[in-house]
Amino acid sequence: MSTIPSPRMFRGSSGRLPAGVRMAIVVSRWNEPITARLLEAALATFTAAGLAADAVDVAWVPGSFELSLAADRLASSRRYAAVLCLGAIIKGETSHDRHIATAAACGIEAAGRAHGIPILFGVLTCETLAQAMVRAGGDAADRYAGNKGAECANAALDMVSLLAQLPLSPEASA
């Protein structure tokens, strides 16, 4: 009976990071009561993964529309293993929210591919402030349970560890 060869499997983990790794977070001041909670949970997640406070840099931007430009600049410095983008876009009376969300998502995605590092989309796109508050930890006893800032930080840890395992392009490894 022939045995089926098993494929080589790559899988990231959100465990502890090696020493020397630095992270950056870009956070939007718009809806700051929400984004400050996302930031707090992201920082707590990085601390739990062994990152010292001085291994994380935080840049505040006016709104989610500006997240990708700052993330692009931080990524181009080559100082960081990943950049988190945190924001909260809440629907208003016009279609403004959709234009901001589309620009933020496209800009963040493009910056990640341009620089070859994980640039994470931690932007809430909600109908109401109440919905956003729930996704920023709400009034749960554990402020970080269900908090999208913590999820985003975990995704960054996961991607950093995955990319460390994946083969480099021939040009990069030459």
Choice among 33, 52, 69, 96 that is catalytic: 96
Question: Any contact of residue 89 with ligand DLZ (CB under 6 A)?
Answer: yes
H-only helix segments in 19-169: 32-48, 67-76, 96-115, 129-135, 148-165
Residues whose CB is less than 8 angstroms from the CB of residue 101 and which lie 6 or more positions away in sequence, other chains included: 64, 89, 123, 125
Stretch that binds ligand DLZ, among 4-12, 26-34, 139-147, 165-173 (CB under 6 A): 26-34
Per CB under 6 A, the list member of 5, 7, 20, 92 interacting with ligand DLZ is 92
CA dihedral (102, 159, 143, 54) positive or negative: negative
Shortest spacing between CB 90 and ligand DLZ, in angstroms: 5
115 assigned to active site:
no
First to last CA, the chain: 42
Q: How many residues line the site for ligand DLZ (CB under 6 A)?
A: 16
Restricting to residues 123-162, which ones interact with ligand DLZ according to CB under 6 A? none
The single residue listed with the structure tokens 């990085």 is: 46
Q: Which residues bind ligand DLZ (CB under 6 A)?
A: 28, 30-31, 62-66, 87-90, 92, 96-97, 100
